[in-house]
């Protein structure tokens, strides 16, 4: 039996903050076993004597699967993670070319970290391992591994949106993105829209050939591009929410509760959402004192300037809406700038009449799926979902779809959600729940790995093993 080797920047170590990728892969690894390789930032106090750099992977014992990490010197790590990954690739993939911070040192660090990881990984891999690389931090990893003579099947999954070819043109080395991807056997993307963008980017490379089965041939390699929408561990989350304590009315004051929960990221459209909620209270006086909005926005990547700015903007906006519409017993926006426990979150979802998931750009957005799974099917809440979330491809027909850029339209949507009849809520919710339960995280991982396996059977490198 082949061993599954998952590789990602972040991995579950101690109580470090996680996110969609870590939660989904943890479920996958607990189910299947295997090895998870991540990257850690070398501690400043590290002397280098205990474990020389790029000498291999550090073992983290415990748990149902193996965990190893590749330690990267702190300033190199910062240029790779805060620099190229989160000040170039993240804004690029989320359509924010205005935020690109193109520095040669960032790109060099990014390539160097991928090379160091490939080096350590190449020594760790066994001939029959199947490698599954995750996310934008590691676009060049397969290329670096192939250069070291690794012939194993290597799949890649991008958790965030694939950038448009026009935006990719803003990179200093625009062609390299598709070149890196061509070293994988299978590239998985969240949505069909992402697959279309990725094909577009391959079209900009003269040597690309588009095959009848949808795959792309570039130089001597063929890569399959396909969408695999990521899911959640739906039935487990459903149970957590069912068992959650009911919220005391005093906890949220008025009768109706709207919930939003994400990392405090500029891609999530939080200022737009706060403005739309302000517009709602402004234009519908009868809702003042009757509906409150809890927004959990957990801190993230605070060393990047754009994240510090969005935080200030939200503090200012929540203050201004609250200043305007608060009363002695009423705080319209409860803005929580902390991470909160998943069990508590499940309870909040269950008891909120409206779930607001209105990003400006988002790979999938698992909060949308968690909100659906958490509802009581006999009296469910309403999901208000932006078309710019990947989840809209699966849930968009049954959620209320909102345009995050249009405050008045979003306010209408929230108001429609607050007054929706139970029968309609049940009908919409049951269709979404069916999708969330069927296309769960296990379905996602199995479909991807099955496809990678099928693809690998037809290629030459298996005969070399």
Q: Which active-site residues does the annotation give? A: 159, 362
Residues 123, 56: Cα–Cα separation, whole Å: 8
What binding mask, one character per residue, do residues 328-367 give for ligand F6P by CB under 6 A, x or -? -----------------------------------x----
The angle, 0 to 180 degrees and rounded to 10, between the axes of the packed helices 270-283 and 407-418 is: 70
The least distance separating ligand F6P from the CB of residue 272, rounded to whole angstroms, comes to: 19
21 contacts ligand F6P (rule: CB under 6 A): yes
**To the nearest whole angstrom, how small is the minimum distance from the Cβ of residue 19 to ligand F6P?**
3
The least distance separating ligand F6P from the CB of residue 185, rounded to whole angstroms, comes to 22
Choices 19-27, 96-104, 303-311, 445-453; region in contact with ligand F6P by CB under 6 A: 19-27
- Contact residue for ligand F6P among 96, 301, 344, 451 (CB under 6 A): 301
| Nearer residue to ligand F6P within complex by CB, 135 or 179 | 135
Shorter beta-carbon distance to ligand F6P: residue 41 or 288: 41
Is residue 347 a contact partner of residue 244, using CB atoms and an 8 Å limit? Answer: yes
Residue 304 touches ligand F6P, criterion: CB under 6 A: no
Exactly one of 10, 68, 94, 275 binds ligand F6P (CB under 6 A); which one? 10
135 is a contact residue toward ligand F6P (CB under 6 A)? yes
CB of 351 vs ligand F6P, minimal distance in Å: 24
19 lies in the site for ligand F6P, by CB under 6 A:
yes
Under rule CB under 6 A, residue 233 binds ligand F6P: no
Should residue 252 be labelled a site residue for ligand F6P when binding is judged by CB under 6 A? no
Cα 350 to chain centroid, rounded: 22
Inter-residue contact 374 to 403 (CB < 8 Å): no
Q: Is 300 in the site for ligand F6P (CB under 6 A)?
A: yes
Size of residue set near ligand F6P by CB under 6 A = 12
* Minimum distance, C-beta of residue 363 to ligand F6P, in the bound complex (Å): 5
Please tell me whether residue 159 binds ligand F6P under the rule CB under 6 A: yes
Tell me: does residue 26 bind ligand F6P (CB under 6 A).
Answer: no
Find tokens 């390699």 and name the residue.
Answer: 221
Site string for ligand F6P, 254-273 (x = CB under 6 A): ---------x----------
* Among the listed residues 12, 20, 253, 260, the single contact to ligand F6P using CB under 6 A: 20
66 CB contacts (<8 Å, ≥6 apart)?
34, 35, 36, 59
User: Which of the residues 403 through 432 are near ligand F6P (CB under 6 A)?
Assistant: none
Q: Binding residues for ligand F6P, per CB under 6 A?
A: 10, 17, 19-21, 135, 159-160, 263, 300-301, 363
């Amino acid at each position: 039996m082949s061993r599954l080797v998952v590789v990602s920047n972040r991995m579950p170590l101690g109580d470090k903050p996680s996110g969609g990728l870590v939660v989904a892969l943890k479920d996958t690894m607990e189910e299947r076993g295997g090895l998870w390789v991540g990257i850690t930032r070398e501690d400043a106090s590290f002397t280098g004597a205990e474990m020389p750099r790029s000498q291999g992977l550090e073992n983290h014992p415990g748990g149902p699967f193996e965990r190893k990490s590749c330690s990267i010197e702190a300033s190199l790590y910062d240029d790779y993670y805060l620099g190229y990954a989160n000040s170039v690739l993240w804004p690029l993939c989320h359509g924010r070319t205005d935020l690109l911070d193109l520095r040669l040192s960032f790109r060099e660090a990014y390539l160097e970290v991928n090379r160091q990881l490939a080096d350590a990984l190449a020594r760790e891999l066994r001939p029959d391992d199947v490698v599954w690389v995750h996310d934008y931090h590691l676009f060049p990893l397969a290329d670096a591994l192939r250069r070291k003579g690794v012939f194993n099947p290597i799949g890649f999954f991008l958790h965030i949106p694939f950038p448009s070819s026009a935006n990719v043109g803003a990179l200093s080395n625009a062609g390299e993105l598709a070149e890196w991807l061509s070293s994988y056997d299978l590239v998985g993307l969240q949505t069909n829209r992402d697959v279309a963008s990725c094909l577009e980017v391959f079209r900009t490379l003269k040597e690309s050939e588009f095959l009848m089965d949808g795959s792309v041939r570039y130089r001597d390699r063929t890569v399959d591009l396909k969408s695999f929408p990521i899911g959640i561990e739906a039935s487990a989350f459903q149970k957590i929410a069912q068992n959650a304590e009911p919220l005391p009315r005093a906890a949220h004051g008025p009768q109706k509760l709207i919930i939003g929960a994400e990392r405090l990221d500029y891609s999530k459209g939080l200022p737009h959402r706060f403005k739309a909620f302000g517009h709602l209270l402004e234009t519908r006086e009868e809702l003042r004192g009757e509906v409150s909005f809890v927004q959990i926005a957990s801190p993230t990547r605070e060393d990047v300037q754009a994240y510090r700015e969005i935080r200030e903007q939200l503090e200012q906006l929540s203050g201004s809406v609250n200043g305007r519409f608060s009363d002695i017993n009423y705080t319209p926006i409860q803005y929580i700038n902390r991470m909160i426990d998943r069990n508590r979150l499940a309870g909040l979802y269950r008891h909120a009449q409206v779930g607001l998931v209105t990003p400006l750009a988002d790979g999938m957005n698992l909060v949308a799926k968690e909100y659906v799974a958490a509802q009581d099917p006999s009296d469910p809440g309403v999901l208000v979902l932006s078309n710019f979330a990947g989840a809209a491809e699966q849930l968009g027909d049954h959620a209320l779809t909102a345009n995050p850029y249009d405050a008045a339209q979003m306010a209408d949507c929230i108001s429609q959600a607050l007054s929706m009849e139970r029968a309609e809520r049940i009908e919409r919710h049951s269709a979404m729940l069916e999708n969330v339960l069927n296309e769960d995280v296990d379905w996602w991982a199995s479909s991807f790995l099955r496809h990678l396996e099928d693809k690998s059977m037809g290629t030459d490198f298996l005969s070399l093993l």
